[in-house]
Amino acid sequence: MIRTIAGADLTAQDVYDIWRIRDAVFAVEQQVEEEDVDGRDLLSTTTHLWFTDTDGPTSYLRVYVGSDGIRHIGRVCTRKDQRGQGLSGRLMAEVTGLWGDGELQLNAQAYLEQWYASFGYVRSGDNYLEAGIVHVPMTRRAGG
């Protein structure tokens, strides 16, 4: 079952669990040295979606409404021991079901461009470097 919680409704345990999976994937595995905490997690316009097991979140992403009024997907990650089960794909499908009638944007790690394309996202700009990793901006048009 997918947990879906608005940022303003997160418990202290939720925040801990979310930051734990993001730290494991982005800081430890990918060695991202930029701060993860960006002021968006606790906003009422941010929604967190994840699967969990007895060890905590297994796959996670967040969706937030940017200053441009568009929903942005980010922090997509799956715990190392849970990869290959389609969990992130199920989260992406859930996002499409919830907000696919509007435009959705994300900044994909470049090697995942084709994976995101399978959900209807298309490149919307040039590659760029973020946190030492090549990314590509992608958009899914309303109803796309």
Query: In this predicted model, what pLDDT tens digit does every residue of 38-68 receive, in sequence order?
Result: 999 999 999 999 999 999 999 999 999 999 9
The answer to whether residues 66 and 53 touch, using CB atoms and an 8 Å cutoff, is no
d(CA 117, CA 75): 17
Q: Taking 90 as the threshold, does the pLDDT of residue 144 lie above it? A: no
Range 96-108 average pLDDT: 97
pLDDT at 136: 98
d(CA 36, CA 34): 6
pLDDT at 33: 83
* Structural class in CATH, domain 3-104: alpha beta
d(CA 66, CA 71): 6
Residue 83 or 131, more confident:
83
**pTM for the predicted model, two decimal places:** 0.95
For the chain, the domains span: 3-104
d(CA 91, CA 33): 26
Q: How confident is the model at residue 143 (pLDDT cuts 50, 70, 90)?
A: confident
Q: Taking 90 as the threshold, does the pLDDT of residue 138 lie above it? A: yes
pLDDT at 119: 96
Average confidence score pLDDT of the chain: 96
Amino acid at 140: R
Report residue 84 as tokens: 């290959």
Query: In this predicted model, what pLDDT tens digit does every residue of 15-44 receive, in sequence order?
Result: 999 999 999 999 999 999 888 999 999 999
